[in-house]
A = this chain, B = another copy of it.
Amino acid sequence: MSQDHHVEELLTLLRFASISTDPAHKEQTQACADWIAAKLTGMGLKTEIHPTPGHPVVVARNEHKPGRRTLMIYGHYDVQPVDPLNLWDSPPFEPVIKDGIIYARGSTDNKGQFLAHIQGVEETLKEKGELPVNLIFLIEGEEEIGSPNLTPFLQAHKDELKCDLVAVSDTGMVAPGVPTFSYGLRGLTAVEVTLKGPVMDLHSGIFGGAVANPATAVARLVASLHDANGHVQIEGFYDDVAPLQSWERDAWKDLPMDDAALKSLTGVQELFGEAGFSSIERTTARPTAEVNGIGGGYQGPGSKTVLPSKAMAKFTFRLVPNQDPAKIQDLVVKHLEKHLPPGVEMEIHRGHSGSPYLVDPQSGFGVAAQRALEASFGRKPALIREGGSIPIVQAFKTVLGADTLLLGFALPDCRAHSPNENYPVENLHACRRLNRALLEEIAKV
């Protein structure tokens, strides 16, 4: 199989509009799962498509032999929504390659990464006829909506899915060409509020002044979350935050991630965050309270003098060890109830949660992963914590008893979740090389 063929195969996979959150894309999402299963079956793996109440899980395995390490490789074939569509330079599900970079929704997150692992396994099988480990591919379709059906699936199939270790390529690289081992993840908990005032939008002249404005109220709620220095004001929010270790601060000092790069990546004029912490600490080792969406009243062109009937805000809180998502969600709800302005009614919708995660990079498997990364890039890996959340990693630990190695290939400017998501062709190949080295290193532990 030529390198071009690897790329062509990824482009095919990227053409499935497998947006898990949108019911209108259910067929496309199913078709994507079918395609992956066919691919794995074609490689000689024993493959099953397991239906769930949501989108299916694809599981594939080689013939397992006693006395070998069992490695699970996890990925997800679902993708984020694509709006605002007008900010894409090319259609999100019609991948194009420009200057060695593939542009499409899902290219980095996560199709370009799990497919590279599949391609690595395919290569090894072709060259050697077998793998050095017992392998399980677990590719799900609901990661972008919080994997609601995966933990039950793990529980229902825990014997067949038993493994020593999980490898996931769904995290970032600190810079192009720098192999990166993420030994930590932030957790998350989501909460949405709807504030209801009058039963209909009111004339702001006739009623304005005597009836609480839900848009004002939701703004006051949001504003109550932080002080002017960016500290979260929810009572008890920081109580369980584990302080950074000194080796972490040392390891992070020399990373090729500085504030100038962060500004350039995001296009902001100045950075802003919790006072007393560096940007890398703020994005990986400190918890946050973030508004993902806010809305109410008239948002079209021109002016409309209404007092809106309702307003909403969607929040997610990124969490770090040892914060407990359920406990934090309770503190959030308590805070929102306490700070609800008068004159409006609040509906709170508790969303999904995921625990923060930390693994010891100097453990046996940790060292194996570092060796595999060094072998596939020719340089020592950077050790970082990841700012994002992969809730399922916690489930691998609690249900399967397995630690997870996060060996990701997302570049800082990959625009995951944003318009013009992209993935370098080079990373597809590097991830394939990593897969081959990783299986060999794991076999030695």
Contacts and interface: CB of A to CB of B under 8 A. Distances in A.
A297 B266 CA distance: 16
Contact of A198 (B224, B266, B412): B266
A243 to B, nearest CB: 16
A193 interface: no
A286 interface: yes
Contacts of A387: 205-209
A210 B271 contact: yes
Given A272-B342, A273-B209, A296-B294, A202 B316 contact: no
Contacts of A215: 222, 291-294, 313
Contacts of A188: 205, 305
Interface in A377-421: 386-389, 412, 415-420
Nearest to A284: B209
Interface in A313-336: 313-314, 316, 318
A50 interface: no
Contacts of A296: 291, 293-295
Contacts of A218: 219, 294
A213 interface: yes
A343 B270 contact: yes
A76 B270 CA distance: 48
- How many protomers of this protein does the assembly include? 2
A81 interface: yes
Interface residues of A, number: 101
A312 interface: yes
Nearest to A312: B299
Given A219-B223, A296-B295, A290 B419 contact: no
Contact of A389 (B205, B300, B311): B205
Chain A at the B interface: SS class: loop
B266 A292 contact: no
Given A272-B211, A345-B269, A303 B292 contact: yes
Contacts of A291: 213, 215-216, 219, 296-297, 308
A66 to B, nearest CB: 39
A304 interface: yes
A290 B208 contact: yes
A7 interface: no
B294 A307 contact: no
A228 B216 CA distance: 11
A153 interface: no
22 contacts: A188-B205, A202-B266, A205-B318, A208-B288, A210-B262, A210-B273, A212-B268, A213-B290, A213-B291, A218-B219, A219-B222, A219-B223, A222-B223, A270-B342, A271-B343, A272-B344, A292-B306, A293-B300, A295-B295, A295-B299, A299-B314, A303-B352
Closest 5 A/B residue pairs (Cβ) = A205-B388, A272-B343, A199-B267, A219-B222, A223-B223
